[in-house]
Amino acid sequence: MSYVSNTDEQRREMLAAIGVESIDDLFADIPEELRSGPLNLPPGRSEMHVMRLMHELSERNAAHLVSFLGAGFYDHYIPAAVDALLRRGEFYTPYTPYQPEASQGTLQAIYEYQTAICRLTGLDAANASLYDGGTALYEAAMMALRVTGRNKILLDSGVNPIYRNMLHCYTSNLHIDFVEVPAVHGQTQREVVGEYLDEETAAIVVQNPNFFGAIDDHSDVVEMAHSVGALAVMSTYPISLGLLKSPGEIGVDIATGEGQSLGLPLSFGGPYLGYMACRKDLIRQMPGRIVGATQDAAGRRGFVLTLQTREQHIRREKATSNICTNESLCALAAVVYLTVVGKHGLREVARTCADKAEYARRRIEAIPGVSVKRDAPTFNEFAVELPADAAEVAGAMTEKGFAAGFPLGRYYPGMERYLLVAVTERRTKEEIGRFSEAMEGVLWN
Amino acid sequence: MELIYEKSVPGRRGFRLGRNDVPSRAELPEQYLRREAAELPEVSELDAVRHFTALSQRNFSVDTNFYPLGSCTMKYNPKFLEEVARLEGFAALHPLLPQLRHGGMFTQGVLQVLYETGRMLCEITGMDEFTMQPLAGAHGELTGAMLIAAYHRNRGKHKTKVIIPDSAHGTNPASAGIAGYKVVPVASNEQGVMDVDALKEALDEEVAAVMLTCPNTLGLFNPHIKEIADLVHEVDGLMYYDGANLNAIMGRVRPGDLGFDVVHLNLHKTFATPHGGGGPGAGPVGVKQSLAPFLPTSVVVKRTDGTYSLEYDRPDSIGYIAPLYGNFGVIVKAYAYILACGGDGLKEVSDNAVLNANYVLSRLRQHYPPAYERRCMHEFVLSGQPLKERGISALDIAKGLIDRGFHPPTVYFPQIVKEALMIEPTESESKETLDAFVDAMIELARLAVADPDALHNAPTRTPVGRLDEVRAARQADVCYQGSGGKDR
């Protein structure tokens, strides 16, 4: 089934109008010796057959595990209205809104999304989206280099290790001087920051809550950065902003993060949503699409893609970024989520996550031989020290029906006994109880 | 139309979690908490549904309008693909599960999808290995440029330049630039394709790669492509294939057989995954064996027992270009689409895409001069220059089309054609639709002479008329400042 509309009869009429005998004649520019034989792929199948196959494949995955696994990607509840609106073909089948009069729906929705991100982060300007939280952090680092004209980045090891790997990968040809502030379970180490921060430093990059779930108030770190003319870049978990001090209140210059928690399913790693917000005076160095408000000749308000002279289709190799297609539909999901959940609902979701995590922490702490790091307050995720290898324990927990958490030894050598446990509003008291009983059983039976 | 923030009513709610069943309360010190809740909308679920439904109705889309946007391949997105991506076993799956011990066994279905999609794309393109990780076309270009850099570095060569034709999409030079290369543009010849002599002039040992689309942005297949590849390989450069225009050639010719070493594809173009109003897309990258060791971490492998796993131990890999395994929810749609089409179906796709384009070209060429008087592949470029001389620009034609219910072609691109109108009908459209579009284009050409002012004022049937872009850039109002709320 190839979704072609024309009939053989119509194809004959069209060939006659073109003035050729056959479709083959239309490919005459391709030299004979370069042509390929038939593709060695299975024959086409009907929708019904493919659907059956896809059902079978989908069932060969353990999506049923009760999840205490987060590490940057979270199992939140998505109100049905989000997907109902996302499924409108008028939203998911257009291209990037280059023709504003024919795209006011997408453009206004992105403007509303940008506004929601600004209000959530406490900053002045947001873009229309980047690919994910990791590429957003990379783009923020590049932006800081452009703004300051400097070449050194201080990178807190509490930043998601996957994102740190991405930063190193992207900049491997660019001779940027990275200094990693060593990891602790708790908060950013001020003395180390003080030691390395200097007038060569473009930015300090932190995450809040950090990868271990610890909450920090980076206001003093931001001041230290600003005192040497460096910028502060922060990656945040947007649901936590229902409760926690916003990057803007902390004084951060560029906020980024993974927007998956705002109404997007986990989908085995994507599509996700990189968000970015910044101070107004940095907007012309921001990467990506930006929607701005304006009006038509009759004075009616409308929206367009704006500040396009930053972008690749105008500036080519001098653009602020190469990004073109971004994650527009995911940004739409986020703004619909933030609208439906709303001002009070987001606070309720965040508060519930924190309370349930606190309950889980108490239940887990009660397991003999297990302790929970409490060097810093946490939001909905925390590191648990086990009397056994965390990867082994997590493996055994899957057999009891749980995705127990993320074994920290995978990215932090020496932390092989630590398990990172996340609790969202979706986990019930009963599930948390069963989880801690199962863990006790795995450890002591 | 009012913003959702302007519809907000203090105290109104559209969502509640309900009773919290745990007895604990997290005590967070004041210093870590935000002073005030973020000013998000306070609306009912019905308010939200009406608002966003009304917004959707202010869009043109493939589902509602013919959308012949050149180089974007706005084909039909079959509905069952939406069901596929939402199957519980895909949509609810946490991406870090396979990183748990024996966790790969919990994700065999998704790993099989990633592996098999890669293998099928290898067959379609004639490449040896694919990474499914890049999250969009430009992201694939950057990945490709980084692979090229790693390849040369590994051979102890320091190369500084990438050659890109002047007709290329802006992401090509931007991606090469970000990967650290100097961009050298090469002009097209009078046939509209890269000129072999101009290329020879630009080629030297410093050239890391030549980035090309084939057929190119003008919809033209370069018959000298193999000669170009040989010349580039002679200076130890690599050939990069931008897959934006793959929809023209499936089952006819494969980039790998033409001498290309690296390709990226846009699953949201050729493989029918929806464009989403600007993403999400997916831009997988294929390479020849000589570049395979450098592919991003991780790689899906098939073991001898038929199971799948993720390989992380790859010492020569360029590393992490994406956090996980790519936009799985997009990739799985492309996988289902390829299975539905099959090998013969994909050839049918390209055959009909090329037929539709040539048919529209044959009917329009008397009314708008083609940029190049040749047969085209899946798209073609007309010039609005003769109308421009009468005061009607390509933009006026575009706006006139909107009033007639058609999404305009790509305008002013490629930049080498004056008043460019770039038309790509795709295979999914019927002759009736193509005829209606052609009739509208002919009517506009006549109107340009008879009543140019009518066109200057278009569009008039849209919610807003032409918008003041200068004002937008000057005021940079990108975030609503009003407090909103009906009673404030």
Output the average pLDDT for chain A. 96
**Domain extent at residue B398:** 344-472
> With an 8 Å Cβ cutoff, is A242 touching chain B?
yes
B478/A120 touch (CB, cutoff 8 Å), yes or no = no
Q: What is the torsion angle, in degrees rounded to the nearest 10, for the CA atoms of residue A40, residue A42, residue A46 and residue A52?
A: -140
Nearest to B250 by CA among A30, A60, A295: A30
Instruction: Write out pLDDT tens, residues B334-387.
Output: 999 999 999 999 999 999 999 999 999 999 999 999 999 889 999 999 999 999
**B31 touches A: beta carbon within 8 Å:** yes
Residue B257: CB atoms within 10 A of its CB come to 14
The answer, for A83 touching chain B at a CB cutoff of 8 Å, is yes
Residues of A in Cβ contact (< 8 Å) with B319: 165-166, 168-169, 172
CATH classification at residue B311? 3.40.640.10
Q: How confident is the model at residue B192 (pLDDT cuts 50, 70, 90)?
A: confident
Residue B25 inside a domain? The answer is no
- What mean pLDDT is predicted for residues A306-320? 85
pLDDT of residue B484: 61
Euclidean distance between CA atoms A318 and A322, whole angstroms: 9
- What's the pLDDT at A64? 87
Task: Give the model's pLDDT for residue B346.
Answer: 98
How many domains would you assign to chain B? 2
Q: pLDDT band at A316, cuts 50/70/90?
A: confident
| HEC assignment per residue over B328-348 | HHHHHHHHHHHHHHHHHHHHH
Both structure tokens of B369: 């001069």
Average pLDDT over residues B316-334: 97
Q: Looking at the structure, do residues B323 and B391 belong to the same domain, yes or no?
A: no
Interface of A with B in 13-32 (CB under 8 A): 13-15, 17-20, 23, 26-31
Instruction: Say how far apart CA A418 and CA A405 lie, in whole Å.
Output: 10
pLDDT tens digits, residue range B156-188?
999 999 999 988 888 999 999 999 999 999 988
What is the model's pLDDT at position B371?
Answer: 93
Best A243, A325, A335, A347 residue to mutate vs chain B (most B CBs within 10 Å): A325
Q: Is the dihedral of CA B423, B428, B431, B434 positive or negative?
A: negative
B248 and B212 in a common domain: yes
Q: What is the average per-residue pLDDT within B18-32?
A: 92
Q: Are residues B357 and B325 in the same domain?
A: no
Beta bridge pairs of residue B162: B183, B209
Q: What is the C-alpha separation between B244 and B258, in angstroms, rounded? A: 16
| The pair of three-digit structure tokens given for residue B180, joined into one six-digit string | 């650290």
pLDDT in tens, A347-360: 999 999 999 999 99
Q: For residue range B38-60, what is the model confidence (pLDDT) as tens digits?
A: 999 999 999 999 999 999 999 99
Burial A71-99 (b: 16+ CB within 10 A, else e): bbbbbbebbebbbebbebbbbbbbbbbbb
Do the beta carbons of residue B419 and residue B383 sit within 8 Å? Answer: yes
Q: Is B184 within the bounds of a domain?
A: yes
Strand order in the sheet with A125-126: A125-126, A274-278, A254-258, A231-236, A201-208, A152-156, A177-181
Distance from CA of A227 to the nearest CA of B (A): 22
Task: Say whether both B355 and B297 belong to one domain.
Answer: no
Nearest CA to A229 out of A252, A192, A202 is that of: A202
| Same-domain pairing of B227 and B313 | yes
Cβ-Cβ contacts under 8 Å for A153 (sequence gap 6 or more): A141, A144, A145, A167, A176, A177, A178, A179, A201, A202, A203, A204, A205
HEC string of chain B? CCCHHHHCCCCCCCCCCCCCCCCCCCCCCHHHECCCCCCCCCCCHHHHHHHHHHHHCCECCCCCCCCCECCCCCCCCCCHHHHHHHCHHHHCCCCCHHHCCCHHHHEHHHHHHHHHHHHHHHHHHCCCEEECCCCCHHHHHHHHHHHHHHHHHHCCCCCCEEEEECCCCCHHHHHHHHCCCEEEEECECCCCCECHHHHHHHCCCCEEEEEEECCCCCCCCCCCHHHHHHHHHHCCCEEEEEHHHHHHCCCCECHHHHCCCEEECCHHHHCCCCCCCCCCCCCCEEECHHHHHHCCCCEEEECCCCCEEEECCCCCCCCCCCCCCCCHHHHHHHHHHHHHHHHHHHHHHHHHHHHHHHHHHHHHCCCCCECCCCCCCCCEEEECHHHHCCCCCHHHHHHHHHHCCCCCCEECCCCCCCCEEEECCCCCCCHHHHHHHHHHHHHHHHHHHHCHHHHHCCCCCCCCCCECHHHHHHHCCCCCCCCCCCCC
pLDDT in tens, A129-179: 999 999 999 999 999 999 999 999 999 999 999 999 999 999 988 889 999
Among chain B residues, the shortest Cα distance to A131 is held by B135
User: Which of B324, B339, B354 finishes a domain?
Assistant: B339
> Looking at the domain assignment, is residue B104 inside a domain?
yes
C-beta atoms of B49 and A85 within 8 A: yes
- Confirm whether B247 is domain-assigned: yes
Tens digit of pLDDT for each residue in A238-278?
A: 999 999 999 999 999 999 999 999 999 999 999 999 999 99
- The answer, for A9 touching chain B at a CB cutoff of 8 Å, is no
Side chain identity at residue B142, one-letter code: L
User: A104-129 pLDDT, tens per residue?
Assistant: 999 999 999 999 999 999 999 999 99
pLDDT tier, A372 (very low <50, low <70, confident <90, very high otherwise): very high
User: Mean pLDDT over residues B195-213, rounded?
Assistant: 95
User: Tell me, what's the ipTM?
Assistant: 0.98
Distance, CA of A295 to CA of A104 (rounded, Å): 12
Q: Are residues B350 and B240 in the same domain?
A: no
Partner A, chain B 345-384, Cβ-Cβ below 8 Å: 345-349, 351-352, 354-356, 358-359, 362-363, 374-375, 377
Residues B265 and B414 placed together within one structural domain of the fold? no
Q: What is the pLDDT of residue A286?
A: 96
Of B287, B314, B339, the domain-final residue: B339
- pLDDT tens per residue across span B393-448: 999 999 999 999 999 999 999 988 999 999 999 999 999 999 999 999 999 999 99
Using the predicted structure, report yes or no on whether residue B191 has a pLDDT greater than 70.
Answer: yes
pLDDT digits (tens, 9 = 90+) for A277-305: 999 999 999 999 999 999 999 999 999 99
Map out the domains of chain A with their CATH numbers. 66-76+343-444 (3.90.1150.10), 80-337 (3.40.640.10)
Does residue B153 fall inside a structural domain? yes
pLDDT at B487 over 90: no
Q: Which residue in B100, B265, B397 has the most chain A C-beta atoms within 10 A of its own C-beta, making it the best mutation to test that interface?
A: B100
Asked, for residue B320, whether it belongs to a domain, the answer is yes
Q: How many CB pairs under 8 A join A and B?
A: 708
Whether residues B348 and B461 fall in one domain? yes
Residues B308 and B420 in one domain: no
Percent of chain A past pLDDT 70, that is, above it, reads 100
Query: What are the residues whose beta carbons fall under 8 Å from the beta carbon of B255, sequence distance 6 or more?
Result: B125, B126, B127, B214, B241, B243, B246, B263
What's the pLDDT at B488? 39
Residues of B in contact with A302 (CB under 8 A): 463-464, 467
Q: What is the mean pLDDT of residues A165-194?
A: 89
Q: Is B306 near chain A, with CB under 8 Å?
A: no
The sign of the dihedral angle between the CA atoms of B37, A421, A164, A76 is negative
Shared domain for B376 and B256, answered yes or no, is: no
CATH number where B363 lies? 3.90.1150.10
Residue B16 resides in a domain: no
| Residues of chain A with C-beta less than 8 angstroms from the C-beta of B135 | 131-132, 135, 270-271, 327
Contact call for residues A239 and A426 (beta carbons, < 8 A):
no
Same domain, B128 and B178: yes
Based on the fold, state whether residues B290 and B361 are members of the same structural domain. no
Q: Are A187 and A376 in contact (CB under 8 A)?
A: yes
Taking the CA of residue B419 and the nearest CA in chain A, the distance in Å comes to 16
Q: Partners of B285 in the beta sheet?
A: B131, B264
**Among the three residues B278, B313, B339, which one is the final residue of a domain in this structure?**
B339
The answer to whether A366 faces chain B, any CB pair under 8 Å, is no
Rounded CA-CA distance A323/A346 in Å is 30
